[in-house]
Structure 1
Amino acid sequence: MKNPKLIVQQGYDRLGSRYREHYENANPERYVDWLTKLAQLLPSNANLLELGCADGIPTARFLSQGFKYLGIDISPVQIELARTNVPNAHFEVADMSILSFPASSFEGIIALYSIIHVPLAEQPALIKAVYQWLKPNGYFLCVVGADEWTGTEANWIESGTLMYWSQADAATYQSWFIESGFKIVEHCFVPEGTSGHAFFFVQKIA
Structure 2
Amino acid sequence: MVQRGYDQLGTRYRTHYEQLNPDRYNDWLIAFARLLPKDASVLELGCADGIPTAHFLSQQFDYLGVDISPVQIQQARANVPNARFEVADMASLNFPALSFDGVLALYSIIHLPIAEQPALFNEVYNWLKAEGYFLCITGAQAWTGTDEDWNQLGTSMYWSHTDAITYQSWFLEIGFTILDTHFVAEGDGGHTYFLLRK
Does residue 32 of the first structure (1) align with residue 33 of the second (2)?
no
1:168 corresponds to which residue?
A: 162
1:143 corresponds to which residue?
A: 137
Q: Distance in 2 between matches of 1:146 and 1:53?
A: 21
Residue 25 (structure 1) shift: 3.2
Unaligned residue ranges in structure 1 (runs of 5+): 1-6
Residue 159 (structure 1) shift: 5.1
> In the TM superposition, what whole-angstrom CA distance separates every residue of 1:80-138 from its partner, at most 9, and x where no partner exists?
00000000000000000110000000000000000000000000000000000000000
User: Is the alpha carbon distance of 1:12 and 1:104 closer, same or farther for their aligned partners in structure 2, counting shifts above 3 Å?
Assistant: same
Q: Distance in 2 between matches of 1:159 and 1:58?
A: 20
Does residue 120 of the first structure (1) align with residue 114 of the second (2)?
yes
Per the normalisation by structure 2, the TM-score is 0.98
**3-state DSSP of counterpart to 2:43:** strand
**3-state DSSP of counterpart to 1:45:** coil
Q: Distance in 2 between matches of 1:140 and 1:40?
A: 13
Q: Distance in 1 between matches of 2:19 and 2:156?
A: 22
Percent same amino acid among aligned pairs? 65
Unaligned residue ranges in structure 2 (runs of 5+): none
Per the normalisation by structure 1, the TM-score is 0.95
Matches within 5 A, 1:44-63: 44-63=38-57
Q: Distance in 1 between matches of 2:87 and 2:135?
A: 21
Does residue 70 of the first structure (1) align with residue 57 of the second (2)?
no
> After TM superposition, where is structure 1 displaced by more than 6 Å over at least 4 residues in a row?
none
AA in 1 matched with 2:121: I
Matches within 5 A, 1:190-201: 190-201=184-195
Matches within 5 A, 1:9-20: 9-20=3-14
> Is contact 2:9-2:153 (8 Å) kept?
no
Residue 21 (structure 1) shift: 1.1
Does residue 88 of the first structure (1) align with residue 82 of the second (2)?
yes
